[in-house]
Structure 1
């Protein structure tokens, strides 16, 4: 998977590897060239996604089921005490750390990383923040956010004239 991401980035960046591109891209004499050669939104998004840890860990599914927004986050090997979940306005934040390194062991292969993580998910609709439920089983953190069907209170504001 990681190798495929590198191949995609290298392929995408190859068009920007010739000397002429970089000379016109950074040329102070002709700032109009910058617009012509700037990265498109899609290319910039791919680069940002490639460099971002948020896209990688933890992997999540978000879906609607029985009047709830359900989120399943894959957190294998993470201790439940190392997971923090919070809801800030319409963003669900999953933070934690996974530690797989043990100092007293002699490693011959070490592929599992010890790291801190943070994943921010934008919740697509209002939820009842007082009825959120969570569970953690077999390395899957499940979060249930009941959809709020209540109309938000509209408070009229009267404009005073001078």
Structure 2
């Protein structure tokens, strides 16, 4: 009986892949799901959110980002920081003209990853390096920009 249940589940999944709606959602990037709770509606948006895989950590005076970007040329990469949001955009160009492919698993695609930085940084002093398919950004923290806002209590109006 257990095998029949597995077969039913497999058939349900197989049917989903055969539906025209499923493939339209994959190839139509403008078709974003309305809520982030249901990422299964559009697998492409889920892939974009998690790619490239990044680590963000701090040392004594710096924030460090390490991003996996295997095979990406620096000419196809753009990095920007605006109001403590680091944006990494890029494009993998894996399809080449005049090649006779026998197998094609690596796709050409664009990506955009945004990371919210926990501290302001000195944008002019960012260092970037690509080594072994990993982009490393070293960003000196600007702790002078972090200000505590004093909170005052209005004691004249007891309710």
After TM superposition, the score normalised by the length of structure 2 is: 0.63
Distance 1:113 1:48 in 2: 21
| Number of residue pairs matched by the alignment | 114
Structure 1 segments of 4+ aligned residues over 4 angstroms from their partners:
151-154
Please report the RMSD computed on the Cα atoms of aligned residues, expressed in angstroms: 2.5
Identify which of 105, 113, 131 aligns with 1:119: 113
Q: Which residue of 2 aligns with 1:47?
A: 38
Q: Does 1:131 align with 2:125?
A: yes
Query: Relative to 1, partners in 2 of residues 1:153 and 1:57: Cα closer, same or farther, differing over 3 Å?
Result: closer
1:106 to 80, 100, 103: 100
Gaps of 5+ in 2: 1-8, 14-34, 149-159
Per the alignment, do residues 153 and 71 of structure 1 end up closer, same or farther by CA in structure 2, a change over 3 Å counting? closer
| Counterpart secondary structure, 1:52 | helix
Partners in 2 of 1:131 and 1:92 — Cα distance? 14
After superposition, residues 2-13 of structure 1 pair within 5 angstroms as: none
Task: Specify every segment of 5 or more residues in structure 1 that has no aligned partner in the other structure, as ranges.
Answer: 1-6, 12-43, 155-162
Matches within 5 A, 1:74-113: 74-113=68-107
Separation in structure 2 between the aligned mates of residue 52 and residue 151 of structure 1, nearest angstrom: 34
> What TM-score do the two structures reach when normalised by structure 1?
0.62
Contact kept in structure 2, 1:100 and 1:112, CA below 8 Å: yes
SS in 1 for 2:104: coil
